[in-house]
Structure 1
């Protein structure tokens, strides 16, 4: 999800909810404790220099169970962060404390913000000797079957 998509979604909401990949919602009393600009400058395993930049949100919860972050307040936080983020339409990554700090992507389903899993990958498989897959797995197609249709 990009900053512009988040800013467009917030005014349509009456509450801000985040859902973990497991389907569990973050407690309603969560805080956005940081909005920052994260730049990662690195060399991949093939020797190629790379730079990635993203907007980073840190979500946190405390014992203040009456706290609620409304959509308008979240928009004001984003406006304050523009002095750091600039006006680039950056991808968003989210940090949330679990057993250790979890790092997630962000999506929106029209009602809730979804913390999406992030994966590692080799950026230079040819330089590392990562084998090509022997074959591509076919996409299974079941005629007339749709998600939630009860046929699967």
Structure 2
């Protein structure tokens, strides 16, 4: 989800909810403690130099049960970060504390923002010797016949 989509969504909400991938809601007394831009400048295992940028939201639970973050307040924080930090319309990454700091993608289901699982990946599979995924065949794709000869595709 891009920053512009979050801003548009916030304008239509009365309350903000974040749902974890396991279906649990982040406690409604959470705070967004940071809105920032993270720049990652790195070399992948194939030797290619890469730059990635994301907008980062950090969610934090406090023992402050009397305050709730309202949509207009988060929108103000986002707009201030755009002005002061020069944040562009980038994808959102959310940090949330569980056993360790988890990094999540962001989506919206019409009611809550969804923290989505992210995965690591090799960005240079072609240079690392990682085999391409084998194609999955349907039994209906296998030629019929009475024998199974090399190259016939029967096995």
Give the TM-score taking structure 2 as reference length: 0.85
Render the CA deviation track for 1:78-127: whole Å, top value 9, x for unaligned. 11111344252111000000000000000011111000011000000011
Q: Deviation at 1:66?
A: 1.9
**CA RMSD after TM alignment:** 1.4
CA contact (8 A) 1:35 1:56 kept: yes
Specify every segment of 5 or more residues in structure 1 that has no aligned partner in the other structure, as ranges: 139-152
TM-score, length-scaled by structure 1: 0.87
Task: State the shift of 1:136 in Å.
Answer: 3.5
**CA distance in 1 between partners of 2:57 and 2:110 (Å):** 20
Residue pair 2:35, 2:78 contacting (<8 A) in 1 also: yes
Residue pairs, 1:46-61, within 5 angstroms? 46-61=46-61
Which of 1 and 2 has greater Rg? 2
Q: Secondary structure at the match of 1:4?
A: helix
Count, aligned residues: 138
Structure 2 equivalent of residue 5 of structure 1:
5
Q: Is the 8 A contact 1:29 1:67 kept in 2?
A: yes
Matched residue, 1:148: none
- Secondary structure at 1:27's aligned position in 2? coil
Cα deviations across residues 44-66 of structure 1 (Å, max 9, x unaligned)? 00000000001001000111112
